[in-house]
Amino acid sequence: MNGLLAHRRAALVLPPLLAGVAALAIWQAVVVLGRIATFVLPSPTAIATAFGTVAPDVVTAATATGTTALVGLVAGSLAGVAAAVLAARLRVFDEVLSPLSAAANAMPIIALAPVFNAMFGSTSPVPRRLVVAVAVFFPLFVNTARGLRQVSPVHTELMRSLDATGWAFTRHVRLPGAVPHLFTGLRLASSLSVIAAVVAEYFGGRQDGLGSRITSAASNSAYPRAWSYVLGAVALGLVFYLVALLLERLLSPHTRRSL
C-alpha cells in the first residue's frame, strides 16, 4: 500500500519536474549557443547567480508583496462570497451585482492603481490592497453564485416541507453545496492576487515590494537581478495557490471523502 502511494506521488511530481528541467536546459542552450544578448534574455545560470546575491532582499520584497496580496485576497473573497449569497437569495441584488461584477472584471488593473493612489495617497498600502480586492472579487462572486444556484430539487422540496426560512435554506443547503465552487474561485483568485499586487506596485508608493524592485532593476539594466525578483513573484504565487489547494482539501466535504 505504501509503495503504491509512493508510486502515485512520483507519477504526479516527476513529469512537471522533468519538464521544468528540460525547459531550463533548452533556455540555457538557446541563450549560450544562440548568442542572445543578456539584456534580451539572461541565461538561467546568470539569474541563479544574481538570485544568490539578492536572495535576502527577494525574501523581504516578497513578504511585503505577500502581505498586500493576502489582505486584498481576504477582503475581496469575503466581499465576493457575501455578494454571491445576496445575489442567490434576492433577485434584485442579482440584477444589480452581476453586471457590476462583470464591469469590475473588465476594468484593467493598470487603470485602477493610479486612481486609488490619487484617492488614498501613494504612500498608503490601501490602494494596492484595493486593487487586489477588486481583482479577486469576480472569480469568487461568479463561482460561489454558480454553486449557490445549483441546488438539488430533492433538497428544495425537503426544506419546503420543513417550512424552513430562506436564510435557513441558504445556510444549510446552498452554502454547503457551493463549497467546491467557492474553492474553485479561491484557487483562481490566489494566484491572481499576487499578480495584481505586483502590477499595483509599478505605480508608485513605497518601494518595498517585488513590483517596484523589478522596475528598479530593469531600469538600471540589471536584468538577471530583475529576473530574480520575477522568480520570487512566481514562488509567491505558487505558495498562495498551494495554500488555497490545501484549504480546499481540508475544508471541502467532497475532497475529504476522496482522500
Domain ranges of the chain: 1-36, 41-251
Q: What is the pLDDT of residue 10?
A: 61
Q: Stretch 21-46: mean pLDDT, rounded? A: 82
Q: Stretch 187-202: mean pLDDT, rounded? A: 91
Q: How confident is the model at residue 258 (pLDDT cuts 50, 70, 90)?
A: very low
Contacts of 182 (CB under 8 A, 6+ apart): 81, 140, 143, 144, 147
Q: What is the pLDDT of residue 241?
A: 92
Pick the CATH number of 41-251 from 3.40.50.980, 1.10.3720.10, 1.25.40.10, 3.90.550.10: 1.10.3720.10
> Which of 40-44, 106-110, 227-231 has the largest mean confidence?
227-231
Cell digits for 36? 542572445
Specify the higher pLDDT residue, 110 or 22: 22
On the question of pLDDT at 167 being above 50, the answer is yes
Q: Are 27 and 44 in contact (CB under 8 A)?
A: yes
On the question of pLDDT at 74 being above 80, the answer is yes
Q: Give the other-Cβ count within 10 Å of 249's Cβ.
A: 14
Contacts of 78 (CB under 8 A, 6+ apart): none
Q: Is 204 helix (H, G, I), strand (E, B) or coil?
A: coil
> Which of 4-8, 171-175, 189-193, 249-253 has the largest mean confidence?
189-193
Question: To 10 degrees, the CA torsion angle through 99, 104, 106, 107?
Answer: 140
Lowest mean pLDDT among 105-109, 129-133, 226-230: 105-109
Q: How confident is the model at residue 165 (pLDDT cuts 50, 70, 90)?
A: low
Which residue do the cell numbers 513605497 mark? 206
SS3 content of the chain, % helix, strand, coil (to 5): 85, 0, 15
On the question of pLDDT at 32 being above 90, the answer is no
Q: Stretch 2-20: mean pLDDT, rounded? A: 67
- Start-end of H helices in 90-174: 91-106, 109-120, 126-149, 153-161, 166-169
Q: What is the pLDDT of residue 133?
A: 93
Digit-coded pLDDT (tens) for 210-219? 988 998 888 8
Lowest mean pLDDT among 19-23, 96-100, 112-116, 234-238: 96-100
Q: Are 32 and 46 in contact (CB under 8 A)?
A: no
Q: Is 228 helix (H, G, I), strand (E, B) or coil?
A: helix
C-alpha–C-alpha distance, residues 91 and 95, integer Å: 6
Q: Is this structure's pTM higher than 0.85?
A: no
Lowest mean pLDDT among 34-38, 70-74, 205-209: 34-38
Q: How confident is the model at residue 257 (pLDDT cuts 50, 70, 90)?
A: very low
Q: What is the pLDDT of residue 8?
A: 65
Q: How confident is the model at residue 91 (pLDDT cuts 50, 70, 90)?
A: confident
